[in-house]
Structure 1
Amino acid sequence: MTRTVFEKSDVIPMVAEVFRELGYEGASLSKITTRTGLSKGSLYYFFPGGKEEMAAEILAHVEAWFSANVFEPLERDEPITAIQKMWREVDAYFRSGQRICLVGAFALDETRDRFAAMISQYFKRWIEALCAALVRAGAAIEAATAISEEAIGGIQGGLILARALNDEAIFQRTIAGLAERLAKYTQGGSS
C-alpha cells in the first residue's frame, strides 16, 4: 500500500532510513518504494534526479540538522554549555548508538567519491566548531585541534562498534569517556 505524502520534508527522513539500513548501493528504487510505502511516481516527483539526488538531499538535510543543533551552538554559544549540548544532541540523534551516521557510512564506500565535498565539509565543520569552542574555553589551538579530531573519530568509531556488536552501551560509554576527556580541556588545562 502506498503512502500519501504532501511535502518533500516528509519524504527525506523516510528515504534516509532506507539508505542508513541498506547503504547507497543497496538502496535500489524498488527497495526504497517497498520500505517507505511511497510510489515510484512520488519519489520521482520529489527527486527527478533519482537516487543520486535523493542522497544529496539527505546529506544536505543531515548537515542542516547538525548545523542548527551542534555546529552553530559550538561556534557561537558559551563553550562549555555548547559542548554539553553537543553530547546530548549526538546521543539523541544517533539514538544512543542504534542509528548509524549516514555521512560516515557514505564516507566508507565508493559513495564517498560521488559526495566527497559534502562529506568532507560535514566532518571539517564539526571538528572546526568543536575546536573553536575548546579554544574559547581556554585550550591551546594545537591541543584543541587534536582532541576535536579524536572526539569526532571516537563518535564514529563508537557508532560502528555499537552497531557491529549490537550493544548500545558501547556508544554510551564511548561518548561518556570522550566527554570526560574533553572536559579536561575546558578546565583551564590543555592536557
Structure 2
Amino acid sequence: MSKEETIIQLLQVFRQYGYEGATLTRLSQATGLGKASLYHHFPKGKEEMAQAVLNYINDWMETNIFVALRSHSQPIERIRAMTQKVNELYSCGEHPCLLAVLSLESKLFSKEIENALTHWINSLAQVLIDAGFEEKLAHQKAEDAVLQIQGSLILSRCLNDTAPFQRVLQRLPEELLKI
C-alpha cells in the first residue's frame, strides 16, 4: 500500500472516530499495517498521522476546490464547480468533515483548521467580489455558505439522511449570487 493509500485509510478512521477515538488498534486495522509499521511511516505516532491526514485534505481542497474558485470562468460556474467538489469530498453528505471532527476534541490542530476554513471563505468571497459584491458582504455571504455546508453535514449525519446536504449544495450557487 502506498503512503497516499495509507493516509486515505487513516482519514476514514479519523473521520469516523475523531482524534481520541482513532486508537492505534483501529488505525492499524484500517491500514492493514501493524503498529510497528505505522510507527515506521509515522515516527511521531498518532499526531503525525492526523497531521498527514490534514495535509492530505488541505492539498485535496487546494487542488479541487480552491483551483476551481480561482479559475477564470464565470462566478456561477466557479461556485458550481466548488459545490460539485464539496459533494465529492463528503461523499454526497455521507462523510463528516474532518476539520469539524478534529476541532471538537483537540486543540492540536486548531491553527491548521482555522487556516483551512479562512482560506475557503476568502477564496469564495473573492468569487463574489468578482461577481460585483462589496467586500464585506462577499465575506459574510462566503461565511454563511461554509456555515450552511458544515451545518447540513451535521444535520445529515444526525438524521442519517443526506437530503439536507444535497439541498444546500443544489441551491447554493444561485443563492450566493442573489443581491
Q: Is the pair's TM-score, using the shorter chain for normalization, greater than 0.5?
A: yes
Distance 1:105 1:75 in 2: 27
Tell me which residue corresponds to 1:45: 40
Contact persistence 2:28–2:35 (CA under 8 A) = yes
Tell me which residue corresponds to 1:105: 101
Equivalent of 1:164 in 141, 153, 158: 158
Q: Which runs of 5+ in 2 are unaligned?
A: none
Equivalent of 1:74 in 56, 69, 94: 69
Tell me which residue corresponds to 2:23: 28
Q: Number of aligned residue pairs: give it.
A: 178
Distance 1:73 1:124 in 2: 17
| 1:69-92 residue CA offsets vs partner (Å, 9 max, x unmatched) | 111221343233211100111111
**Aligned residues: percent identity?**
39
2:70 alignment partner, SS class: helix
1:138 aligned to 2:125?
A: no
> Residue type matched to 1:94 in 2?
Y
For residue 178 of structure 1, report the CA deviation from its aligned partner.
2.5
Tell me which residue corresponds to 2:123: 129
Residues 151-190 of structure 1: pairs in structure 2 closer than 5 A:
151-184=145-178
Q: Which runs of 5+ in 1 are unaligned?
A: 185-190
What TM-score does the superposition give when structure 2 sets the normalisation length? 0.94
2:13 alignment partner, SS class: helix
Distance 2:135 2:71 in 1: 17
1:49 alignment partner, SS class: coil
Residues 44-63 of structure 1: pairs in structure 2 closer than 5 A:
44-63=39-58
What stretches of structure 1 move > 3 A for 4+ residues in a row?
none
For residue 56 of structure 1, report the CA deviation from its aligned partner.
0.6
